[in-house]
Amino acid sequence: MADRDPISAEFLKARCPGVSTNDLLDADTRHVPDFIKEDASQFLGSEPFESARFSSLEFFAKE
């Protein structure tokens, strides 16, 4: 597995506040495998998508 980039402050701000999935897994009474706790999400920015992306026949054809 490749090394990960350090988590940026911008990424952390984009996360939902409150109890995280890993917090819940840590509180589990049974052992949770480490691979389940790995975070593979990427911060892709906070710019909105154009609505045409979801209604364009051209985009649909590319999918």
Dist. CA 48–CA 32, nearest whole Å: 36
DSSP 47: P
Token representation of residue 34: 């480490």
Q: What is the DSSP letter of 2?
A: P
pLDDT of residue 1: 42
For residue 49 the two structure tokens come to: 């998508």
Cβ atoms of 44 and 14 within 8 Å: the answer is no
Q: 0.85 exceeded by the pTM?
A: no
* Number of other residues whose CB lies within 10 A of the CB of residue 22: 13
Question: Tens-of-pLDDT digits for all 63 residues of the chain?
Answer: 445 556 666 666 666 778 888 889 999 999 999 998 887 777 777 788 788 878 888 888 887
